[in-house]
């Protein structure tokens, strides 16, 4: 495979490679910054991996940013054959990872699906989260209670379909990037994720990710449950939205996202240029880092006062 972009001239230095065993699974990750820095745990989005924070992580000076390949993604183990990939299934691994890192509390930084998982964890375990930072997502789209039977049926059908699916083989990183474009991921962002998403094999590059990640969830949260999670958040929260991201899907979508975020006491919103993977854009990552560092610095000043 060609060298990863982060190893080329002008790009950030190589991150530290880390591994842990959590709940019997071997998980891999990357880290930037000093061991003594502010603890920040970064959770990537759907079908992404720890390289999702390659552009942003090195810019958060004074922080120890640890990004994990969640189960089924990147260099981490797949979940066992009887396991599922519902949103909350990763949270026990997140909890175990915070313990393994020796952190009493940490800042959670999540993108997309990882942002939603960060929100759920922050609400459920407030004593472990000092601040919540979300990138272009916050909470799942609520599902009506009447849709529960159909949702469970879709999950059961997908379990069989994805378990029997043939391995995905790509000609190379460019082929992978073109396929990801169909899911709305910009080529440059997909290429940055490719070194941990693909594995060389005899006839090309195999997709490392677990096919079951693409299956339907068994159960989804309804509106009352989503509201309860948001109302339970006590940590200072920063929501960063991409101008061409989820909120660009229409005024209704934007209003729903803002209304959801406004349920969190004292939430801070910021809109920044870029698409859903704006944190992987070299031009936008410094803007995101600036917003995050200003937010965290303000918290430090408040705690001192």
Residue 290 has pLDDT above 80, yes or no: yes
Q: Report the pLDDT value the prediction gives residue 13, as an integer from 0 to 100.
A: 64
In a domain, 201, yes or no: no
Q: What pLDDT does 6 receive?
A: 38
Structure tokens of 57?
């992580």
The answer as to whether 126 is a domain residue is yes
Does some domain include residue 123? yes
Quick one: which of 163, 274, 209 has its CA closest to 70? 209
Contact 67, 30 (CB under 8 A): yes
The secondary structure of residue 11, as a DSSP letter, is S
Q: If you write DSSP's letter for every residue of 124-152 in order, what string do you get?
A: H-GGGEEEEEEES--SPPP--GGGHHHHH
Mean pLDDT to the nearest integer, 263-289: 96
Q: What is the share, in percent, of the chain residues with pLDDT greater than 70?
A: 94
Which helix (H) or strand (E) element contains residue 243? strand 237-244
Q: Would you place residue 80 in the very low, low, confident or very high pLDDT band (cuts 50, 70, 90)? A: very high
Separation of alpha carbons 71 and 7, rounded Å: 25
What is the average per-residue pLDDT within 73-77?
Answer: 98
pLDDT at 10: 46
Do residues 12 and 55 lie in contact, with contact meaning Cβ atoms separated by under 8 Å?
yes
At residue 77 the predicted structure's pLDDT band, cuts being 50, 70 and 90, is: very high
Contacting residues for 149 by C-beta, under 8 A, at least 6 apart? none
111 belongs to a structural domain: yes
3-state DSSP call for residue 242? strand
Task: Tell me the mean pLDDT in the region 263-283.
Answer: 96
Q: Which residues, at least 6 apart from 202, have a Cβ–Cβ distance to it below 8 Å?
A: none
Which pLDDT value is given to residue 12?
Answer: 56
Which pLDDT belongs to residue 2?
34
pLDDT tens, residue by residue, 117-134: 999 999 999 999 999 999
**Cα(127)–Cα(65) distance, integer angstroms:** 20
| Mean per-residue pLDDT, 256-279 | 93
**Is the entire prediction scored with pTM above 0.85?**
yes
Q: Is residue 168 part of a domain?
A: no
Q: How many domains does the chain have?
A: 1
Q: Domain span at residue 53?
A: 5-143+221-304
Average pLDDT, the chain: 92
| pLDDT, average across residues 33-47 | 97
| Residue whose structure tokens are 């469970």 | 152
Q: Would residue 44 count as lying in a domain?
A: yes
Q: Three-class SS of residue 27?
A: strand
**What pLDDT score does 305 carry?**
47
Read off the CATH number of the domain in which 45 is found: 3.40.50.1820
Q: Is residue 192 part of a domain?
A: no
Distance (Å, whole) CA 134 – CA 132: 7
At a CB cut-off of 8 Å and minimum separation 6, what does 238 contact?
131, 132, 133, 134, 267, 268, 270, 291, 292, 295
pLDDT tens-digit map of 172-225: 999 999 999 988 899 999 999 999 999 999 999 999 999 999 999 999 999 999
Q: Does the pLDDT of residue 8 top 80, yes or no? A: no
Above 90 in pLDDT, residue 237?
yes
For residue 3, name the pLDDT band (cuts at 50, 70, 90).
very low
Residues forming beta bridges with residue 20, ordered by sequence position: 27
In a domain, 275, yes or no: yes
What is the layout of strands, in order, in the sheet containing 16-22? 16-22, 25-32, 63-68, 38-43, 106-111, 129-135, 237-244, 268-275
């Amino acid at each position: 495979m060609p060298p990863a972009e982060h190893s080329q001239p002008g790009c950030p230095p190589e991150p530290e490679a880390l591994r842990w065993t959590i709940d019997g699974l071997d998980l891999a990750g990357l880290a930037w910054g000093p061991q003594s820095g502010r603890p920040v745990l970064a959770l990537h989005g759907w079908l992404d991996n720890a390289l999702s924070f390659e552009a942003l992580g090195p810019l958060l000076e004074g922080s120890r940013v640890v990004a994990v390949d969640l189960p089924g993604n990147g260099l981490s183990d797949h979940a066992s054959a009887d396991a599922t990939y519902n949103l909350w299934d990763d949270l026990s691994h997140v909890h175990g990872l915070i313990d393994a890192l020796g952190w009493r509390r940490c800042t959670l930084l999540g993108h997309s699906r990882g942002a939603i998982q960060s929100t759920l964890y922050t609400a459920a375990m407030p004593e472990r989260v000092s601040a919540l930072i979300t990138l272009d997502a916050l909470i799942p789209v609520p599902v009506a209670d009447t849709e529960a039977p159909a949702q469970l049926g879709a999950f059961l059908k997908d379990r069989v379909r994805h378990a029997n699916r043939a391995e995905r083989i790509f000609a190379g990183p460019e082929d992978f990037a073109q396929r990801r474009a169909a899911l709305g991921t910009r080529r440059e962002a997909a290429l940055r994720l490719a070194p941990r998403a693909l594995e060389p094999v005899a006839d090309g590059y195999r997709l490392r990710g677990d096919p079951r990640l693409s299956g339907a969830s068994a159960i989804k949260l309804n509106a009352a449950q989503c509201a309860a999670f948001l109302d339970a958040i006590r940590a200072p929260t920063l929501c960063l939205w991409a101008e061409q991201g989820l909120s660009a899907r229409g005024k209704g979508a934007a209003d729903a996202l803002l209304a959801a975020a406004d349920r969190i006491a004292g939430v801070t919103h910021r809109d920044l240029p870029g698409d859903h993977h704006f944190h992987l854009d070299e031009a936008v990552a410094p803007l995101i880092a600036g917003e995050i560092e200003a937010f965290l610095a303000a918290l430090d000043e408040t705690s001192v006062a």
